[in-house]
Amino acid sequence: MIITDKDKLNIKCKNCKTIKEGEEIAVKLLDELKESKSGIGLAANQIGINKRVCVVNCKKPIVLINPEIVEKSTEMFAFMEGCLSFPKQAVRTLRHKSIKVKTKNHKKTLEFTVPTDKTKSDFLLDSYEVACVQHEIDHLDGITMFDREYKQEPWRRKIDKIG
């Protein structure tokens, strides 16, 4: 069952001691994600497990055990996010266009990037994946999409004279 209590989701998760521990949690996450039918990612604390494990399933299932973003681009993109913990709610966030993630279960650093060519066939899936990885790692750090909400400032100009 997916947790919907924001206070329970605002707690930073602890590292897994072993890859096996993380993989066992990942199986539960993937099963829950499959059951949801509408989600593309899930973090362990969303199902009541206080461990740094999350899964993302945009193009293919990716398991991240003890993930840390080690590099991020300065370029950002606006993204309308939803969350399985907050059904029927969405907020606009700003996400990094490119990130590098180090995990316990992957030997190489993983890179997630929004393609520069918008006509690329996987453009949308790649964009979702970049945002989703950041969203799920945020969950593990006790941050929800509401904490990242981007509210654009209205454009204003100074009017010297009225009339």
Burial of 105 (0-12, 13-18, 19+ CB in 10 A): middle
Q: Which two tokens stand for residue 156?
A: 């204003």
Q: How many residues does the chain have?
A: 163
Nearest to 89 by CA among 6, 1, 11: 6
Nearest to 99 by CA among 143, 56, 137: 137
Catalytic residue among 21, 35, 136, 149: 136
Separation between Cα atoms, residue 101 and residue 68, nearest integer Å: 6
Nearest to 112 by CA among 135, 89, 91: 135
Separation between Cα atoms, residue 112 and residue 121, nearest integer Å: 16
CA 48 → CA 59, 118, 159, distances in Å? 26, 38, 54
136 is catalytic: yes
Residues with catalytic roles: 136
